[in-house]
């Protein structure tokens, strides 16, 4: 190993250490080894494929800044992936990762990682209106595909409908296709998989994946810059529009109006619309009826919690992808103990592999129990506004109707304010949506409630106890 490579990496680490938490540094940077420095390209060795993906997902900007400081703007980073089998005493092995960034003669374990964000910001798309063949970045993640979206009873309808749409976009009765279900059940994965397959089968089609939050930000920006019509025109030239978390349009009248016009144009012209939501159309609050009726035109397919067999398959598939073996009893333990959320399940697997790899310990049941207890306990779950109202009402021994009523009795008003406070804290709903669901109040009332709770928590000991008790009940 060249001393130059080590010196460059050591200097990078000094910079990185100053910009992240000690735990993150210890977990993700201490295990890395500098390998060589060739033509301004620093090669570093990482212990596994998931490790490389995590760095690219979370720390690519930090790595870019630190390496550019050392080697200048032409700096490059190459990952050498040296995987270790964490079960038994077998020799380390390397994972072959295909790369489009290097010639086919590259060594299989090296991954050239040019500094670019995996999910680049969607550039302002409407500066050149009227140009149909504008090159539009799809924003799709190719790692989310049908091959690794495992079928089970919980997702069969949604997956089958997604496949039908991907094979014939705009040509099925599933338009729009609305995929809904709880947090971490694979809505985003399936939405990307549909887009990825369409791009593979129909390269000429313009496909765009965008979150409802990003769509809203772009719309607000277009209004500020007085180019709302250009914004609408851009979205009308899309062949397949995939909008994630459509429920986040709740309470945003302007954004809903512009989406309504875009949706109508696409649908009338045989273009495909795919939407995801954490709730069914009938349960969406503060979405205009004319928009909800259009959501119901096609198919609403629910993703439910996966059954035991599906969870086992998901675990085994994840382990296979990461090149790791795990005893059957530990696979079954994980499948039995993490039941409600696929994202949680995969996160626990990553944590388990990471602990085993970093500490050079075999994966055993004791380690699995520790990881699962720790991971599941500290994984933040988003709760619904409906659930928050029920918990607050039960705590103050009243029913939800009383909580939502117009009465100005002090204890009821305080309970209502606490419900609004926790809805803002624990959900992604807008202030308008929170107010509408908690007694049909406006956003100003919600804002006032949150300020009141903050003030009373700081000055009233009994009220502070209410906040602490409810926080435990809602986040445990």
Query: Binding-site residues for ATP, please?
Result: 184, 186-188
DSSP per-residue letters across 23-89: HHHHHHTTT-EEEEEETTEEEEEES-HHHHHHHHHHSHHHHHHHHHHHH-TT-EEEEEEEE---SSS
Is the model's pLDDT at 113 over the cut of 70? Answer: no
C-alpha–C-alpha distance, residues 296 and 273, integer Å: 12
DSSP per-residue letters across 387-448: HHHHHHHHHTT--HHHHHSS---HHHHHHHHHHHHHHHHH----HHHHHHHTTS--HHHHHH
Q: Give me the residue label for tokens 């619309």.
A: 273
Q: pLDDT value at position 127?
A: 39
Q: pLDDT value at position 234?
A: 84
Question: Bigger pLDDT: 459 or 104?
Answer: 459
C-alpha–C-alpha distance, residues 284 and 268, integer Å: 24
Distance (Å) of CA 169 to CA 192, 206, 221? 14, 11, 30
C-alpha–C-alpha distance, residues 417 and 449, integer Å: 5
Cα dihedral 116/242/283/421 (nearest 10): 20
Q: What is the pLDDT of residues 65-95, one digit of tens each?
A: 999 988 888 888 888 877 544 333 333 333 3
pLDDT-derived band at 117 (thresholds 50, 70, 90) equals very low
Angle at alpha carbon of residue 185, lines to 55 and 86, rounded to 5° = 45
Q: At what angle do helices 187-201 and 156-167 cross, to 10 degrees?
A: 20
Q: Give me the residue label for tokens 């050239």.
A: 112
Boundaries of every domain in the chain: 3-112, 156-303, 308-378, 385-475
CB 34 within 8 A of CB 5: yes
Query: Could you give the 3-state DSSP secondary structure of residue 288?
Result: coil
C-alpha–C-alpha distance, residues 78 and 275, integer Å: 37
pLDDT-derived band at 360 (thresholds 50, 70, 90) equals low
State percent of the chain over pLDDT 90. 24
pLDDT-derived band at 379 (thresholds 50, 70, 90) equals very low
Which residues fall within 8 angstroms of residue 373, CB to CB, at 6 or more apart? none
CB 136 within 8 A of CB 125: yes
3-112: which CATH number, 3.40.50.620, 1.10.150.20, 3.30.300.180, 3.10.20.30? Answer: 3.30.300.180
Mean pLDDT over all residues of the chain? 79
Q: How far is CA 68 from the centre of its chain?
A: 29
Highest mean pLDDT among 1-5, 332-336, 402-406: 402-406
Name the CATH superfamily housing domain 156-303.
P-loop containing nucleotide triphosphate hydrolases (3.40.50.300)
Beta-bridge partners for 311: none
State percent of the chain over pLDDT 70. 83
DSSP per-residue letters across 311-340: HHHHHHHHHHHTT----HHHHHHHHHH--S
Q: pLDDT value at position 466?
A: 93
CB 48 within 8 A of CB 352: no
pTM over 0.75: no
Which among 22, 10, 241, 15 is positioned nearest to 122, based on CA atoms? 241
pLDDT-derived band at 465 (thresholds 50, 70, 90) equals very high
- For 308-378, give the CATH class: mainly alpha
Which among 251, 180, 281, 212 is positioned nearest to 437, based on CA atoms? 251
C-alpha–C-alpha distance, residues 101 and 76, integer Å: 12
CB 412 within 8 A of CB 398: yes
Q: pLDDT value at position 358?
A: 66
Is the model's pLDDT at 98 over the cut of 60? Answer: no
Average pLDDT, stretch 381-392?
Answer: 82
HSE value, Cβ hemisphere, 13 Å, CA-based, for 54:
19
C-alpha–C-alpha distance, residues 283 and 264, integer Å: 22
Distance (Å) of CA 2 to CA 7, 35, 110, 326, 435? 9, 7, 17, 36, 62
Q: pLDDT value at position 12?
A: 92
Q: pLDDT value at position 76?
A: 87
Query: Binding-site residues, please?
Result: 184, 186-188
Helical (H) or strand (E) element with 180: strand 177-181
CATH number of 385-475: 1.10.1750.10
Which among 313, 316, 343, 333 is positioned nearest to 187, based on CA atoms? 343
């Amino acid at each position: 190993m060249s001393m130059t490579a080590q010196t460059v990496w050591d200097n990078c680490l000094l910079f990185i250490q100053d910009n992240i938490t000690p735990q993150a540094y210890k977990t993700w940077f201490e295990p890395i080894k500098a390998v060589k420095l060739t033509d301004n390209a620093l090669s570093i060795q990482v212990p596994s494929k998931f490790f490389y993906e995590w760095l690219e997902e979370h720390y690519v900007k930090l790595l870019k800044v630190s390496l550019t400081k050392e080697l200048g703007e032409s700096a490059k980073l190459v990952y050498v992936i040296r995987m270790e089998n964490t079960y038994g005493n077998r020799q380390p092995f390397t994972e072959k990762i295909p790369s489009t960034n290097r010639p086919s003669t590259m060594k299989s374990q090296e991954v050239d990682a040019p500094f670019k964000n995996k999910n680049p910001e969607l550039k302002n798309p409407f500066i050149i209106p009227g140009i149909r063949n504008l090159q539009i970045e799809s924003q799709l993640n190719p790692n989310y595909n049908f091959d690794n979206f495992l079928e089970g009873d919980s997702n069969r309808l949604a997956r089958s409908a997604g496949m039908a749409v991907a094979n014939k976009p705009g040509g099925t009765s599933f338009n729009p296709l609305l995929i809904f279900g709880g947090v971490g059940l694979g809505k985003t994965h399936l939405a990307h998989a549909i887009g990825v397959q369409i791009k593979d089968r129909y390269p000429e089609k313009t496909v765009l994946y965008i979150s409802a939050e990003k769509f809203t930000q772009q719309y607000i920006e277009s209004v500020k810059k007085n180019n709302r019509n250009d914004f609408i025109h851009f979205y009308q030239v899309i062949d397949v529009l995939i909008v994630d978390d459509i429920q986040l349009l709740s309470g945003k009248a302007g954004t809903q109006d512009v989406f309504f016009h875009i949706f109508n144009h696409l649908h009338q012209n045989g273009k495909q619309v795919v939407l995801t939501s954490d709730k069914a159309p009938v349960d969406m609050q503060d979405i205009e009826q004319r928009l909800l009726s259009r959501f119901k035109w096609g198919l609403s397919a629910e993703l439910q919690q996966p059954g035991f067999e599906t969870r086992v398959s998901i675990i085994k598939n994840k382990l296979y992808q990461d090149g790791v073996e795990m005893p059957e009893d530990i696979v079954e333990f994980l499948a039995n103990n993490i039941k409600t959320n696929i994202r949680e399940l995969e996160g626990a697997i990553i944590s388990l592999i990471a602990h085993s790899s970093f500490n050079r310990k075999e994966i055993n049941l004791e380690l699995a129990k520790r990881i699962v207890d720790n991971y599941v306990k500290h994984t933040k779950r988003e709760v619904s506004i409906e659930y928050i109202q029920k918990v607050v009402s039960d705590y103050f021994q009243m029913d939800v109707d009383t909580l939502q009523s117009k009465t100005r009795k002090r204890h009821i008003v305080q309970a209502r304010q606490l419900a609004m406070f926790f809805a803002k804290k624990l959900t992604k709903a807008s202030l308008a949506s929170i107010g509408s669901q908690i007694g049909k109040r406006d956003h100003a009332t919600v804002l006032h409630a949150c300020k009141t709770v903050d003030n009373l928590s700081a000055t009233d000991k009994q009220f502070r106890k209410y906040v602490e008790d409810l926080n435990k009940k809602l986040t445990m």
